[in-house]
Chain A
Amino acid sequence: MTAITESAVTQRRGVGGWRWAGRIFLALLLGFTVMPMIWMVITSLKTGFAAMQYPPQWWPAEPTLGNYWRLLDPNGSVGQDFLHYFWNSLWVSTITTILAVAVAVPAAYAFSRFRFPGRNFLFFAVLLRNMFPAVVFLVPLFILMKLLGLVNTHGSLILTYLTFGLPLAIWLLKGFYDNIPVQLEQAARIDGATRFQAFLLIVMPLSTPGIIATSIYSFIGAWNEYIYAYTFLTRHDQMTLPVGIQRFFSENATDWPGLMAATFLMSIPVVVLFLVLQRYFVRALTEGAVKH
């Protein structure tokens, strides 16, 4: 019935114009969005000489995967470094994500369900962390890491990234828990479960989408982070991808195709991860953002 009503009404009202405007707008927006990424890939397939032409070759006359092979070749020095950076990034991002979820889930649950003195203040403080720019904390954090003996270790990054990810993770998960009806836990309580059992056995399984979304966000945030990695890690073998890449290409003449290949490789994991799991992420973000 709704289909009939809608098409009958829209035919009368002539929504056609807006519909087409929407389509053209989306097409343009898609072009704007995707164009840089496409150009990144095209450039990465060129040799250095081919890239430095103006007007540029819209498609390389001799496309080559040489840039990629160089980056991924464990025998060459470039490849060794690149793979090492890749592994560092993977390690830091994964550990950060696991810890972030482990810490955020109980906290978000508590903020959602419990009312204890200081709750509002603490929640405010947690969210407030989001407000503060990364750069401002650089000096004191550097000094703190020195005190803790963590400079030039991955531990310093993990600890720092935890605090970046936590506020949003807690906020996301809290919004998620807000939308799980309290009645489910109350029913469990009536049946004799303690509050903790209700949390573990009823609520946790239901929060899988929220946890997936939080994990994605933590992982992507840690993977892409640059400022702290740049400041805390000066030892070459500790560096993560965003910093390491810079090292390759900032000398005299920037090797643009190589740089584009490296950024492409750097972006693949997060883009793939995101595209595959995007519906969890979108769902959790929107459920957190909107009050029902």
Chain B
Amino acid sequence: MSSVQGQAIFRDVPEPPPRRVGLGTKVWNSRFDYLYVAPAILVMLIVIAYPIYYTIELSFFNTPASLSLADKKFNGLDNYAAIIQSPVFWKVTWQTVVWTVLSTGFSFVLGLGAALALHREFAGRALLRGLLLIPWVVSAVAASYVWKWLYHSDFGAISAILTAIGIIKEPINFIDNASTSLYSLIVVNVWKEFSFAMIMLMAGLQTVPDTLLRAAQVDGASPWQRFWHVTFPHLQGVSTVTILLLVVQNFNSFIIPFIMTGGGPVGSTQIWITHIYELAFLRQRWGVGAAYAVLLFLIMMTLGYFYVRALTKGDDSRAGA
């Protein structure tokens, strides 16, 4: 593109003669561009780069609770070794995986169903969509308190409804019971998140060409066949982004487990994030907490790579203003 003569009028800086342009020249040529991104980058640098650096540094130190942070002692990879060898780590990891996979899966499926059902125009559609989005907008704190009340072991409405229908006799202990607590929390998480998936997929559905669907219909395809062979392939891009976003969000979700159960009972709802919090803030084991955090960083970086790749496809065709 830059070899076209007319391009010269679209740059504030005169087009350099076509030859190898060094990095320094490129940077100088784009110097005004950096002004646009400077404020954003500055904020991010201060508030992100320093903490990351400090966390990584801290992970290599031993920080006994009796000493202040300034007296930390270097102990190399000991923190990491301690983590991998501790059974708590594997339990928390498994719970995190269960939490993430089930939350993401159900949120996505519900969101897809809702998106498909809402795809057709009908009276009240915007209102319905708005109502379905309420859980996403409401604060996680509010959601946690309401569901805690709904799940209450003595006065909870859910137990009452189930008893009234006749399914159970006694109120169920949803969140005080180690075997059901994690799954009860997952329900809350899905309640909160599914409409996000719904919105993303609704957008994706709009890119499915209607003509293709109609042609398939005329050719005798059943609704299921139409979905599977026409709609679904078109949704793959949006689905990938949505699932990645959900996975990241769930991996990192803190408020619901923290407020509803605080990681209990008996650590059955402890996921990585709440565990890190407990280690660092409640048990003052900053070094180990930092080591966990670094491991988490690495996982997130990997996911992040795929995420950005999925998002920036097709970007280069838009250059040129």
Contacts and interface: CB of A to CB of B under 8 A. Distances in A.
A144 B36 contact: no
B296 to A, nearest CB: 6
A165 to B, nearest CB: 10
Contact of B155 (A54, A114, A231): A54
Question: Chain A's interface: helix, strand, loop or mixed, by majority?
Answer: helix
Nearest to B210: A2
A130 B46 CA distance: 16
Interface residues of B, number: 115
Contact of A36 (B30, B147, B171): B147
B191 A289 contact: no
Contacts of A109: 36
A114 B40 CA distance: 16
A105 to B, nearest CB: 9
Interface in B124-182: 126, 128-135, 137-143, 145-147, 149-150, 154-155, 157, 160, 163-164, 171
Residue of A15, A52, A289 with most chain B CB atoms under a 10 A cut-off: A289
Contact of A290 (B41, B131, B207, B222): B207
Interface string A264-285: 0011001100110011001001
Given A30-B132, A113-B321, A141-B47, A136 B164 contact: no
B319 A113 contact: yes
Interface stretch (A59-67, A70-78, A190-198): A190-198
Contacts of A115: 30, 319
Nearest to A109: B36
B281 interface: yes
Given A114-B36, A144-B51, A286-B202, A226 B139 contact: yes
Contacts of A194: 12
A285 B312 CA distance: 16
B273 A135 contact: yes
B312 A266 contact: no
B30 A114 contact: yes
B99 to A, nearest CB: 13
Given A29-B132, A54-B171, A39 B160 contact: no
Interface in B282-311: 286, 289-290, 293, 296-297, 300-301, 303-305, 307-308, 311
B308 A259 contact: no
B254 A134 contact: yes
A149 interface: no
A42 B227 CA distance: 41
A54 B169 CA distance: 13
B217 A9 contact: yes
A106 B126 CA distance: 32
B255 A127 contact: no
Contact of A131 (B10, B35, B307): B307
B137 A220 contact: yes
Interface of A: 5-6, 9-10, 13, 15, 18, 22-23, 25-26, 29-30, 32-34, 36-37, 39-40, 43, 51-56, 102-104, 106-107, 109-117, 120, 122-141, 143-144, 159-160, 162-163, 166, 170-171, 178, 182, 185-186, 189-190, 194-195, 198, 220, 223-224, 226-227, 231, 242, 245-246, 256, 259-260, 263, 266-267, 270-271, 274-275, 278-279, 282, 285-287, 289-292
Given A36-B146, A36-B150, A112-B318, 11 more contacts: A15-B223, A36-B135, A102-B39, A113-B320, A124-B308, A125-B44, A128-B308, A195-B32, A270-B138, A278-B133, A289-B204
Q: Can you list the 8 inter-chain pairs with the closest CB atoms, starting with the nearest? A: A286-B203, A140-B51, A224-B139, A133-B252, A116-B30, A110-B36, A131-B300, A107-B40
5 contacts: A103-B40, A110-B33, A132-B300, A144-B50, A259-B145
